[in-house]
Chain A
Amino acid sequence: MNRSSTSLAIPALAPGVVVMRTASGVCRLRSAPLPRRGLHRLLARVLRLPACIELELDDLGTWVVERLDGRNLERLGGELATHARLTRREAEVALGDFLRQLVARHLVRLQTEGAA
């Protein structure tokens, strides 16, 4: 993926991710059960590691997750700049960092436009 094609990528919730709402109205994401096998599974049971990753977002993170409906990164960055009154560059960097963290936690994945 080069830089120009990255902006056309479409972020979407990963399969099996559950979106819950807290009492304050923000989103709480729960990933699908993590695939573990063999020794990894045994260690997870012994150490009582959680089966899923859960993440509670703030209002800005909730705003972004609510818009993971087929919008590509470029459009999402522009809307974030408008919503949070940031420059375009700031919005893109902030959005990129946020989505990178969600991808690392298996909560979001990036799709190319053709595959969406």
Chain B
Amino acid sequence: MVAHASSWQAAGSAVVALHGWEFPLPGDAELAGTSGHARQGWMLLARGREPLARVAWRRHDATPDLDRSLDKAGEELCRRGGCQRLTVRRAVGDHQRQGEWDGPTGTWHAAVRYFPGTQLTLAVTALVPDLAVAELMAAAQAQAPDAPWRWCAYGLDADLPSWWRLVGMQAYAGLVRAVWDHRPQERFRADALVVLRRHACAARLLAGRDPAAWLAAGLDRPERIEAQSVADEVVRLVVSRPAAIWWQRIRGRRDQRVLHAWQETEADRLVVQEWRGDGEPLPCLRRAAAEAMA
């Protein structure tokens, strides 16, 4: 069964962008699952119920041995496709290797690419025969450590400074939620959190209310609204509540949350951005270009 991309599919869903890299999606493919963190992990691309490819990433201080990485990617292909031997090994420049393995059901492909300057290595392994991964790998990009990183997965699309780390991302039917935290100098405790939630069926959720009223109705009892504004169809709410730590509460300090909410009318989605913590709140992360594409 093929999942056809509809006009209300996630805006900007032609790529997956996580942890400082972007990887293009083959036509009609979607992100089926991810695992890992900024230093290493993998993701699974699928088309309908058919797995297409597995993309793994890893950051390490030393320059990787790409031939060895390609051989390791091929081990899985040999197990899955019954391949016997590597038939083609191709070097594309100094930082990319591509391989082909012949099996009884077709030719299986894998590619490995190192991005100097970012210490990032991507490895893509085809999970079906005759899937050309070389073009996909050629279109992959790594983002510089000092530039904003794009995060694009499951319909969420935002740019965040590179010092924000993804804590977790959940994609449920009707809700996608991602949490980032900021840990200054790699401390154990985060000093700020950003949560993005993308709700489906926004019209049913709002039930005729505007997003500001919906947000206000969902506040906890001790919270009160300090400021409210609307600009470019984005609602901004600043709410505060008594501090969580008792001695700060005694001193009269209040913890702040900054909420932004906007609707993606074409896809009937409601996106809520929540920031809490110390320091300067993040601005709205809505991508105007992605909205225009939708």
Residues of A within 8 A of B (CB): 3-4, 7, 60, 74, 81-82, 84-91, 93-94, 97
B203, closest chain A residue (CB): A85
Q: Is the CB of A87 within 8 A of B49?
A: no
Residues of B within 8 A of A (CB): 1, 3-4, 6, 8-10, 30, 48-49, 172-174, 200-201, 204, 267-268
Q: Is the CB of A89 within 8 A of B173?
A: yes
Q: With the chains together, A98 CA to B255 CA distance in Å?
A: 40
Q: Is the CB of A4 within 8 A of B49?
A: yes
Q: Is the CB of B1 within 8 A of A90?
A: no
Q: Is the CB of A89 within 8 A of B200?
A: no
Distance in Å from the Cβ of A89 to the closest Cβ of chain B?
7
Choose one: A60, A74, A91, A93; the contact of B1 (CB below 8 Å): A74
Distance in Å from the Cβ of B292 to the closest Cβ of chain A?
19
B10 surroundings in chain A (CB, below 8 A): 87
A78, closest chain B residue (CB): B4
Q: With the chains together, A86 CA to B30 CA distance in Å?
A: 14
Q: Is the CB of A84 within 8 A of B201?
A: yes
Q: With the chains together, A25 CA to B268 CA distance in Å?
A: 24
Q: Is the CB of A7 within 8 A of B9?
A: no
Q: With the chains together, A91 CA to B1 CA distance in Å?
A: 14
Q: With the chains together, A8 CA to B119 CA distance in Å?
A: 47
A74, closest chain B residue (CB): B1
Q: With the chains together, A89 CA to B10 CA distance in Å?
A: 13
* A-B residue pairs in contact (CB < 8 Å), sample of 10: A82-B6, A84-B201, A85-B8, A85-B201, A87-B9, A88-B3, A89-B30, A90-B174, A93-B173, A94-B174
Q: Is the CB of A3 within 8 A of B49?
A: yes
Q: With the chains together, A3 CA to B6 CA distance in Å?
A: 23
Q: With the chains together, A89 CA to B8 CA distance in Å?
A: 13
Give the 8 A-B residue pairs with the shortest CB-CB distance, closest first. Answer: A93-B173, A88-B3, A90-B173, A85-B268, A85-B8, A94-B173, A86-B200, A90-B174
Choose one: B4, B48, B173, B267; the contact of A85 (CB below 8 Å): B267
Q: Which of B173, B201, B204: most chain A CB closer than 10 A?
A: B173
Given contact pairs A3-B49, A88-B48, A90-B174, enumerate 9 new A-B contacts (beta carbons under 8 Å).
Answer: A7-B1, A85-B6, A86-B174, A87-B9, A88-B4, A89-B30, A91-B173, A93-B172, A93-B173
